[in-house]
Structure 1
Amino acid sequence: MTESPEDLAVALDGVGYLADEGLATAGFLAMRLQRPLFCEGEPGTGKTALALALSSALDLPLVRLQCHEGIDAAQALYEWDFPRQLLHLRALEAAEGGRLDAETAERSLYTERFLLARPLLRALTTAPCVLLIDEIDRADDEFEAFLLELLDEYTVTIPEYGEIRAEVAPLVVLTSNRTREVHDALKRRCLYHWLEHPDLPREVRILRRRIPGVSEAMAGQVAEAVHRLRAMELLKPPGTAESLDWARALLALGRDELDAAAAARTLGAVLKYSEDLDRVRAKLDALFA
């Protein structure tokens, strides 16, 4: 356990994640109070990367649940391995010469041997760990309601098997890109933190830290260009991940500076929509004047 937000910031810095004071404090309180941390913000602000960094910095296994439209409890929690259960029944029947006791056979089917643990169940049984519930805003209301019960007690009851309770509460990080509003009932169970894009000096530090071969001048040019792009009305403004990709692309081409010509060749590393590419190409000279 880290003893302060400053300790956590140092630990995260050690694995390449530069957390500001607010984020380090939110992460520390989530650990100390054993509350889920709900991270919301634009894509590319480092929400998912925070969970990965916490896993590395705290030397805890990472369990990740990627949410999507239509996800249900079976996909997130557990399923029974029906093909193996069927083979088991056939083997029992053969061993018993066809005289199979139904009650005994049924009890033998619902054991840990045939239980397929999905991410949420794995988190309960492997805790302490970091549980990343990624892009919860993509799931539907019913799945949110299911999560409420799980996050209250870190316990689940499987009707055929019994109750499973985490011996130690996992460190839970939920992320949302705010494609829709998540219900207040879920947010109330969490500590909340809104992640902004990093300011210019911090983005330069991130580039220098994550890409050792990039110069101070190149990192500054990339960060400044990305900040100018974020100020434009783009369909998808670039995040920190795109800043890193852009710097790596320039280095791979042997460039030691970012100018209009280099930007024109590498815009695909930082912009992901043709409309955004057209809009920026029309203003490249002005952007790099």
Structure 2
Amino acid sequence: MTEPIISVQDISIRFHRSRRHRSLRDLLFKGESGVRAGEFWGLRHISFDVQPGEAIGVVGRNGQGKSTLLKTIAGVLIPDEGRVNVNGGVAPLIEITGGFVGDLTVRDNIYLAAGLHGMGKKQIAASFEEIVEFAEIEDFVDTPYKHLSSGMKVRVAFSVVSRLDEPIMLVDEVLAVGDRAFREKCFERIDEMLSQGRTLFMVSHSEANLTRFCTRGLYLREGTLVLDGPIQEVVDQYFSDSGDEAALRRRHERRMRRMRRLGLLNEEDEEEDDGDEDNLRTVV
């Protein structure tokens, strides 16, 4: 059997309720239970293997450990217990606008972000026009990054990170913003990357997106892995556990309105999503 590209072996991660970082003393000295007063387990005893080319969707309510899991695979977080073996580079489409500098121009930020992700200067220069064209920001290349809208910032970040030639993609709700046409471009880019045999981890609140890209699902609840199986089976189990589907739909609509107030969604997008039968069930 092929060696797993990702192997997660009984990992646990703890957080403090008032702070997200831990001191050296905390790392070296733990109580018998592994947690101190005010701490909690963000992930607990998670284990699974991923074969090259698998596309995996991660579901669960907010705060159940989905993003924590992706950050652990990306190497951003280090498990307090267990270990994660990742046999390949990672293209992290998680919090992708982080690391961009507001006072720098879009041009400078493209070079900075791509360089931080391991691209050489010549490689960035060769890809620059394609990055700008995909992001549809030709008229804003020399504009300070801080003056871009939230949707434009996501366009730039996605265009840069999706150019990385890495075998593993981590996608965490980054496609919930922006207009519908650009989201479809992003979906096509992900399809293209999957056709190249890359491995995908996707966290999404949309059942349609999960079932479009993924064949396998992981269901997290209270930081533990409660189900690992075919994506439709996992999504169905999640909805079954979540209760009344109509109530879930109402919560999704409230979430869409909040995103619109924050400027992360325009009115056209909200109307399109509310009328899309494929999105009738939305993971919240």
TM-score, normalising length: structure 2: 0.36
For the pair shown, the structure with the greater C-alpha radius of gyration is 1
Greater percentage in strand: 2
TM score, norm. by length of structure 1: 0.36
